Amino acid sequence: MLMSGKSQRKVLNTSHSPTPGILRRKWLRDPRNFMSFSIRDAQAPSGAHTEPWTFVVVKDPDMKHEIREIIEEEEKINYLKRMGQRWVTDLKKLRTNWIKEYLDTAPVLILIFKQVHGFTATGKRKVHYYNEISVSIACGILLAALQNAGLVTVTTTPLNCGPRLRVLLSRPTNEKLLMLLPVGFPSKEATVPDLTRKPLDQVMVTV
């Protein structure tokens, strides 16, 4: 979900158009941009500067479809059995279900893995302090950068899909899937839910 000043837009439809060169170093190092953050350079703060993240960028259509098949299979179980009726009811206003066609149509999928620990040069386990918080901050900066580039996405956390997607993408066992972002331009058929935001006095306290 991207936030743009006055409104929050959750875009489930992305066009087939290829993304612009947002990952080019020239764009990413431009000081006029919100932050000089890139998937490649991983310029985001992290606990003890461990940079406990891996960004897997998927462009291959066959791989995207395999990802979709895994997610839809697990999501169908989530909706029909695993998560319960209250969860399904709470999601009704967003009109979501287990069908995720945007995983095929989005030109790029970004799967963000947190590294629960790393390894030293000698192969010993290295502690990654606050790994989930660090990766979440990096994701927030990435969302801002994508919006600044005129792109759209929707934050997704594929429930119970992490282990299968990790194997599919040949990621090591110390990595756990945290988030998946389908990225592209909005399609002409894209819809924006009419959602209201909490007032400021409910989300901020001044002492």
| Residue 192 confidence (pLDDT) | 76
H/E stretch holding 99 reads none
| Residue 18 confidence (pLDDT) | 55
Q: Is 103 helix (H, G, I), strand (E, B) or coil?
A: helix
| Residue 86 confidence (pLDDT) | 86
Domain segments of the chain as ranges: 2-203
| Residue 142 confidence (pLDDT) | 94
Task: Please count the residues of the chain.
Answer: 207
DSSP 128: -
CA distance 157 to 96: 13
Q: Return the number of other C-beta atoms located less than 10 Å from residue 196's C-beta.
A: 6
CA distances from 181 to 82, 102, 111, 139, 189 (A): 23, 10, 6, 10, 19
| Residue 26 confidence (pLDDT) | 42
Is residue 77 within 8 A of residue 160, CB to CB? The reply is yes
Is residue 54 within 8 A of residue 175, CB to CB? The reply is yes
CA distance 104 to 82: 25
**Which CATH number is 2-203 given?**
3.40.109.10
Is residue 99 within 8 A of residue 80, CB to CB? The reply is no
| Residue 143 confidence (pLDDT) | 94
CA distance 109 to 60: 9
User: How does pLDDT run along the chain (207 residues), one tens digit per residue?
Assistant: 333 433 334 445 555 655 544 444 444 444 444 334 444 554 788 999 999 999 999 999 999 999 999 999 999 988 888 888 888 888 887 788 888 999 999 999 999 999 999 999 999 999 999 999 999 999 999 999 999 998 999 899 888 999 999 999 999 999 999 999 999 998 888 777 778 889 999 999 999
| Residue 29 confidence (pLDDT) | 46
